Amino acid sequence: MKKLSPKDNIVVLTGAGISAESGIRTFRDSGGLWENHRIEDIATYSGFRKNPALVWEFYRKRWEQSKIAKPNAAHYALVELEHYFNDSFTLITQNVDGLHTKAGNLSVVEMHGSLNRCYCTSCKHGLSMEEADAKQLIPLCPICGSYLRPDIVWFGEIPISLFEIENSLKKCDVFIIIGTSGVVYPAAGFVMTAKLMGAKTIAINLESPDNLTFLDEFYKGKSGDILPGLVKEWTGIG
């Protein structure tokens, strides 16, 4: 694709693939388990009610892993892209590790929540994991004393900022997908919305995504290898 105008409206969607290149393990394996746990046990609210200590142990480890993980070349390429487009750039991520913010992106929509936050199951008071003293077996709310839960969108729950995401997809000129298989909805359907509204659609992934038919361009491989070069083409910088 040729150089893009700074006036173009750009929306980027990232998935587990971009974080995997920073050493973040993808939760789900081919057997349908999340790191040897049944999804129902650690990624649903009913699982949390049944065994909150197990759920906290699981997400505490993910949080500790994310704290030491470092952004890779693809993350930094997206920072360059945001600097080029400024207010006409939106980054939507399915990841909860905070690596985009750590790299320097500002316009980040964390549709599945964040490992860096938690909130009260009763009064909904929100706080950072550091403030919550996440080392406790089951951290408690400092306001009302109820259980805190990780600020993660579990199965059966509604992703964050869906209305805002839909609006950004309807007005974008270019929609870029990075490191996602196109299987998990609603995110897998975003490319359809963008395409139907006239956007140019591009994807980078290790394997062909399930929604390949909605893509104008597909680049197979690691995003850290491919994206920096594409960003230079799109912006004419570097």
Q: Which of 75, 100, 112, 125 is catalytic?
A: 112
Instruction: Give the C-alpha separation, 12 to 231, whole Å.
Output: 12
State the Cα torsion 201-108-94-197 to the nearest 10°: -30
What is the DSSP code string of 43-66?
Answer: SSHHHHHH-HHHHHHHHHHHHHHH
Q: Is 145 exposed, middle or buried (0-12, 13-18, 19+ CB in 10 A)?
A: exposed
Residues 145 and 163: their CA atoms lie apart, in Å, by: 32
Q: Which residue has the tokens 């990075």?
A: 178
In the residue annotation, 112 being an active-site residue is answered as yes
**Distance from C-alpha of 92 to C-alpha of 12, rounded to nearest angstrom:** 6
Active site positions, annotated: 112
